[in-house]
Amino acid sequence: MPWTKVYGNKAEFEKHLAGEPGLRGLTYREALLEAASQMLASDPSVFVIGEGVDDSGGVFGTTKGLHQRFGKDRVMDSPLAENAVTGIAVGAAVAGMRPILVHMRVDFMPLTMDQIINHAAKWRYMFGGKLNVPLVIRSIVGRGWGSAAQHSQNLQALFAHIPGLKVVMPSTPFDAKGLLKASVYDGNPVIFIEHRWLYEHMGHVPEESYTVPIGKGIVRRPGKDATVVGISHMVYESMKAAEELMGEGIDCEVIDLRTIRPMDTGLIIESVKKTGRLVVADTGWKDCGPGSEIITRVVEEAFGFLKAPARRVNLPDVPTPASPALEKAYYPGAADIVSAVKKTLGK
């Protein structure tokens, strides 16, 4: 499946529709809202809970109006008691419900680690597969507007380390809708991580309900000279980098990982065997992150195909700054990916 172009706003998409009639465009936020709406309408076991889900803004628009349509018994605000609310959601899941718990920022989730790691992640194993915890925890990562060290973190690596959890990071509106439904009906606890810079991105999203398989990445751009594995927002930076590099005669293959646990190792290995070079672009820190895991798997299974050392593009190993000037220096982008690819090529 080729890269599906995503547009920065509705006006851009409407121009595109003139050439391709019949396509339907939604923003990333609208795709999440539609997915939740369809599941609430079709399944009484689904409910949404979290701080601010019934506010006028509706968690950056992703839950807007749901409490008015489905009532406060199905879409409910919660107090500033993250660990307790997570425990309630875990209990509801064990009792047969399918909660979608929204922790508006991933920075709040360290307060819930006991419920997630010691309970939700382990009960299916501890009860010999006879007990499921069909819980989805939505949370948001990424650069804000001076949100600083306690409201801008990217903590996906913490959760990806835990057996029993799945960690999903969709990059497109199409995948956001399809992966949210797949997560709700997976039967296991899923940490569903959204990047705030993606909410205004627009792309083709079918109106009907559908799923995207958890654990399957996708090649967004085929290439032969280097493999670039992008995660979440860094998929877009990887695509920009690939376009720039193509102007210099360097043909990059871009993989959208989509899920970091379970990880589509086979797709990455197949690509590296073709290109012989690997760059991983993640939204988080370098140490013990998904990039480290990806490179390790390639070394274990396809070391002989590597023509050069693999490279990682990550945040600097310091807490997130608040200053706009420091933010600009802190967050990597397409230029950093271009540099990493060139290093693998000895340029």
Q: Which residues belong to the active site?
A: 82, 151
For 192, the enclosing helix (H) or strand (E) is strand 190-195
Q: Which of 139, 173, 242 is nearest to 31 (CA)?
A: 173
Q: Provide the b/e sequence for 63-92 (b: ≥16 CB within 10 Å).
A: bbebbeebeeebbeebeeebbebbbbbbeb
- For the record, the structure tokens of 219 come out as 């090649």
| Residue 99 β-bridge partners | 47
Task: Judge contact between 37 and 63, C-beta under 8 A.
Answer: no
Alpha-carbon span 310 to 294, nearest angstrom:
10
- Token pair 């600009």 is at which residue? 328
Going along 40-164, which residue ranges are E strands? 46-50, 75-77, 98-103, 136-141
Q: Which of 38, 10, 5, 41 is nearest to 26 (CA)?
A: 10
Alpha-carbon span 77 to 298, nearest angstrom:
44
Angle between helix axes 173-184 and 28-42 (nearest 10 degrees) is 30
- Token pair 């391709």 is at which residue? 20
Q: Which of 342, 271, 282 is nearest to 308 (CA)?
A: 342
